[in-house]
């Protein structure tokens, strides 16, 4: 075979193989109209690689690995999470490798190591074609980084783009054009810190929209009470899968009874099936996540007066507990920046009850209780924040937890998840009962961080008709279902609260209200619009209206409620970027209580609060 035909033949062969794997194994099929251009672009990539290669065999291995990533990798991501690989997933790669165990780790790590090693081993500049290939790569790279609109605008114009439906973008454009398009868009739409005028205008818009407090009741005084805030990994009610055929209800009867007393209140997290750190960001800092990236990784650069900082400034002990490696999702830096004084990770716990690599909730609760017992006895106010790990996919059980639940569903995860939730809900109730006895005045909050993964393309949900296999086919009710998890808020001796469907970013302000905390904070910026609750998702958002109607806001023309929420979200995003990655022009300025400040963590970065309930916050414009 002539050497010049090798890339053509190899590209055709690999394209055929990986397309079949994508279509037959993961049910992800690139549209026929997109195939010619997609193939030609892959062929161009192949000839560039070939020009820079010393050895044919090494070129073939590199090409196979890269094309496998383009086609099979995207198909796997779509099957698991409903959308293809995005540029921000590159930054999440470290966390992915940290969480994988056994063969899964090597399955992910070996191809990456092989590509890097072979590229270095096989690189050459011995022929004029190598210099031409290098020129093309450098020119394309410079354009993507510095002039991305030169790529994005013509592709959008001639092939189209759906902001909210990345799966459709992928199958209509093909893997290569899609990657070029979204890689360029990443730089074109990268979050940037707003200037002072934009930040302050947005802040003023949000503060002006806050409804006036017309209550005639006497003003209550802030009294510190403990807050026990428990994020439950993948916690959800599998009994909503009516066609799963369970032999018994997986949820603990005691939990269901307690949940029923809240009128089955739900949290609305920003994610599905993963990215727990985004749910954490919302529940700690009170601002919505609007994009498909991990806020803890690169969007939390500043020390910010989030809920832990606010409470620490009032003399609270702020503790985060999570039995995972401490650097996962950049938690060491993120927890410090939001105001935690103490972070207990896996090395701080005795691993005496494990479900494979996941610590059981029972031992986590017990050990946290032992660690905070002294503060409970001394009546020292604390924010006790617990992130559970048991319940993570693929839902393994240890030897002491035999399977109790059977199901008729052919989707394996429908059964394994139900058995996980069987134990998880019962261990949770033991903790709640003990904590209510030990700390009767404390506020206890438990919620699921996201729905569980139940098979490729939402298979477990599709079987029961609660979700469609493709997000582009979701009804408004499905969008809400997609991000609704159980939530219970117990207000001390007053008992459980009925909060309806609450976006997670609204929880920290609610907690301050339960403490009768009347001072102005950055949490005031995300006080919801009257008569609606806004839940952003990547590329779209939906509004839960007062009458229960769900208004999904995808693309213009918008309804009246979508117009209002879109403007509101634009202002919230500007203020969020200013606070977390910018110059903090909108950080609330308050008189400093020196006595409290001296005892608070990172006191140079925290300003104490002292405004009255109805006073407008003062924006720090220094």
Average pLDDT over residues 379-389: 96
Average pLDDT over residues 108-134: 80
- How confident is the model at residue 598, as a pLDDT? 42
Please choose, from the candidates 268, 325, 309, 291, the residue with its C-alpha nearest in 3D space to the C-alpha of residue 606.
Answer: 309
Question: Is the pLDDT reported for residue 287 higher than 70?
Answer: yes
| Residue 601 banded pLDDT, cuts 50, 70, 90 | very low
- How confident is the model at residue 350, as a pLDDT? 96
Tokens 């939530």 locate to 487
Please choose, from the candidates 358, 94, 338, 352, the residue with its C-alpha nearest in 3D space to the C-alpha of residue 229.
Answer: 338
User: Is there a contact between 425 and 252 (Cβ–Cβ < 8 Å)?
Assistant: yes
- How confident is the model at residue 10, as a pLDDT? 95
Residues 6+ apart with CB under 8 A from 3: 56
| Residue 597 banded pLDDT, cuts 50, 70, 90 | very low
Q: How do strand 485-491 and strand 266-268 relate by DSSP bridges?
A: antiparallel
Residue ranges of domains in the chain, CATH in brackets: 3-188 (no CATH), 196-619 (3.40.720.10)
Average pLDDT over residues 263-283: 95
User: 603 versus 584: which is more confidently predicted?
Assistant: 584
What span, in angstroms and rounded, lies between the C-alpha atoms of 445 and 387?
Answer: 12
Burial 475-493 (b: 16+ CB within 10 A, else e): eeebbbbbbbbbbbbbbee
pLDDT tens, position by position, 13-57: 999 999 999 999 888 999 999 999 999 999 999 999 999 888 898
User: CA–CA distance from 199 to each of 442, 506, 519, 577, 619 (Å)?
Assistant: 37, 21, 21, 9, 10
What span, in angstroms and rounded, lies between the C-alpha atoms of 146 and 153?
Answer: 14
- How confident is the model at residue 592, as a pLDDT? 40
DSSP letter, residue 219 = P
Tokens 């409290």 locate to 596
Question: Is the pLDDT reported for residue 214 higher than 80?
Answer: no
Burial 201-222 (b: 16+ CB within 10 A, else e): ebbebbbebbeeeeeeeeeeee
- How confident is the model at residue 216, as a pLDDT? 66
Residue 57: how many CB atoms within 10 A of its CB? 10
User: CA–CA distance from 148 to each of 284, 568, 581 (Å)?
Assistant: 34, 28, 22
pLDDT tens, position by position, 546-556: 888 999 999 88
Q: Classify residue 113 by burial, with Cβ atoms within 10 Å: 0-12, 13-18, 19+.
A: exposed
């Amino acid at each position: 075979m002539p050497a010049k035909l090798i890339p053509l033949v190899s590209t055709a062969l690999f394209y055929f193989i990986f397309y079949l794997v994508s279509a037959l194994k993961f049910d992800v099929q690139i549209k026929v109209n997109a195939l010619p251009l997609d193939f030609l672009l892959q062929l161009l990539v192949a000839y560039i690689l070939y020009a820079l290669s010393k050895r044919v065999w090494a070129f073939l291995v590199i090409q196979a690995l890269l094309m496998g990533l383009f086609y099979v990798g995207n198909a796997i991501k779509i099957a698991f999470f409903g959308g293809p690989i995005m540029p921000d997933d590159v930054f999440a790669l470290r966390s992915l490798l940290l969480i994988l165990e056994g063969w899964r780790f090597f399955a992910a790590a070996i191809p990456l190591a092989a590509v890097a090693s072979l590229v270095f081993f096989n690189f050459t500049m011995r022929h004029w074609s190598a210099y031409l290939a290098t020129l093309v790569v450098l020119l394309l790279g410079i354009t993507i980084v510095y002039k991305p609109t030169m790529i994005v605008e013509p592709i959008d114009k001639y092939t189209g783009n759906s902001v909210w439906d990345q799966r459709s973008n992928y199958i209509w454009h093909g893997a290569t054009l899609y990657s070029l398009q979204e890689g360029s868009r990443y730089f074109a739409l990268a979050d940037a810190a707003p200037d002072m005028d934009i930040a302050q205008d947005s802040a003023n818009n949000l503060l002006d929209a806050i409804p006036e407090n017309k209550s005639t009741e006497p003003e209550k005084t802030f009294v510190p009470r403990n807050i026990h805030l428990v994020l439950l990994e993948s916690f959800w009610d599998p009994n909503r899968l009516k066609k799963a055929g369970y032999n018994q209800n997986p949820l603990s009867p005691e939990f269901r009874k307690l949940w029923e007393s809240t009128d089955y209140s739900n949290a609305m997290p920003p994610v599905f099936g993963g990215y727990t750190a985004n749910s954490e960001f919302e529940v700690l800092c009170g601002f919505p996540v609007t994009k498909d990236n991990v806020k803890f990784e690169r969007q939390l650069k500043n020390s910010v007066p989030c809920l832990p900082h606010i409470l620490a400034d009032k003399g609270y002990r702020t503790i985060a507990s999570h039995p995972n490696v401490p650097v996962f999702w950049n938690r060491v830096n993120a927890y410090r920046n939001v105001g935690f004084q103490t972070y207990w990770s896996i090395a701080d716990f005795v691993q005496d009850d494990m479900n494979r690599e996941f610590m059981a909730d029972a031992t986590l609760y017990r050990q946290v209780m032992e660690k905070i017992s002294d503060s409970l006895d001394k009546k020292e106010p604390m924010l006790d924040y617990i992130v559970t790990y048991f319940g993570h996919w693929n839902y393994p059980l240890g030897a002491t937890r035999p399977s109790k639940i059977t199901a008729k569903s052919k989707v394996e995860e429908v059964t394994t998840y139900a058995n996980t939730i069987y134990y998880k809900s019962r261990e949770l109730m033991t903790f709640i009962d003990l904590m209510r006895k030990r700390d009767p005045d404390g506020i206890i909050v438990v919620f699921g961080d996201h729905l569980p993964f139940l098979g490729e393309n939402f298979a477990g949900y599709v079987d029961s008709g609660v979700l469609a296999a493709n997000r582009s086919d979701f009804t408004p009710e499905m969008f809400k279902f997609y991000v609704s998890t159980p939530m219970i808020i117990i207000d001390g001796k007053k008992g459980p609260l009925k909060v309806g469907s609450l976006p997670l970013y609204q929880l920290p302000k609610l907690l301050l209200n339960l403490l009768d905390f009347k001072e102005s904070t950055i949490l005031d910026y995300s006080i919801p619009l009257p008569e609606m609750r806004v839940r952003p998702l990547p590329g779209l958002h939906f509004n839960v209206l007062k009458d229960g109607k769900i208004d999904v806001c995808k693309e213009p023309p918008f309804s009246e409620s979508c117009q209002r929420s879109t403007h509101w979200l634009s202002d919230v995003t500007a203020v969020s970027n200013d606070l977390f990655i910018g110059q903090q022009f909108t950080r609330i300025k308050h008189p400093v209580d020196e006595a409290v400040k001296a005892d608070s963590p990172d006191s140079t970065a925290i300003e104490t609060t002292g405004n009255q309930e109805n006073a407008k916050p003062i924006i720090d414009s220094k």
